[in-house]
Amino acid sequence: DGGITQSPKYLFRKEGQNVTLSCEQNLNHDAMYWYRQDPGQGLRLIYYSQIVNDFQKGDIAEGYSVSREKKESFPLTVTSAQKNPTAFYLCASSVRDYNQPQHFGDGTRLSIL
């Protein structure tokens, strides 16, 4: 079955440590997105990519980095510069057509040790 796989489901970060969240899709979608979800804040866009080897900052990109070396993969690194990383992170993908909906993974819960 086609879908989006995020791993791990739960992740813990120590002070000063970078951690990487994985997102893989087999839907053949060109566009991929990373969102952060905090209670009462809805979904906020961190980074997005419309095509391989290209990506753009979203609304809250500071302290995060991404890469898009393959169409299927869009990993997110939470760097030590992100001072409040505890949140639920959602990855999504879509075709490059704003009329079409985004498809989401199951999310990763990141906590600070």
Partner 1 sequence: AQTVTQSQPEMSVQEAETVTLSCTYDTSENNYYLFWYKQPPSRQMILVIRQEAYKQQNATENRFSVNFQKAAKSFSLKISDSQLGDTAMYFCALPAGSEKLVFGKGTKLTVNP
Residue matched to tokens 């990855």: 91
Distance of closest approach, residue 89 Cβ to partner 1, in angstroms? 11
* Closest by Cα among 82, 70, 95, 98 to 20: 82
| Pattern 77-96, partner 1, x by CB under 8 A | -----------x-x-x---x
As a whole number of angstroms, the distance between CA 10 and CA 110 comes to: 6
Residue 33 is a binding residue for partner 1 (CB under 8 A): yes
Q: What is the CB neighbour count within 10 angstroms for residue 2?
A: 9
Distance of closest approach, residue 3 Cβ to partner 1, in angstroms? 10
Report residue 48: phi and psi, to 5°.
Answer: -145, 160
Residue 107 is a binding residue for partner 1 (CB under 8 A): yes
Residue from the set 13, 27, 50, 80 that interacts with partner 1 by CB under 8 A: 50
Contact region for partner 1 (CB under 8 A) — 15-23, 42-50, 60-68, 72-80? 42-50
Distance of closest approach, residue 63 Cβ to partner 1, in angstroms? 19
Give the single-character DSSP code of 63.
T
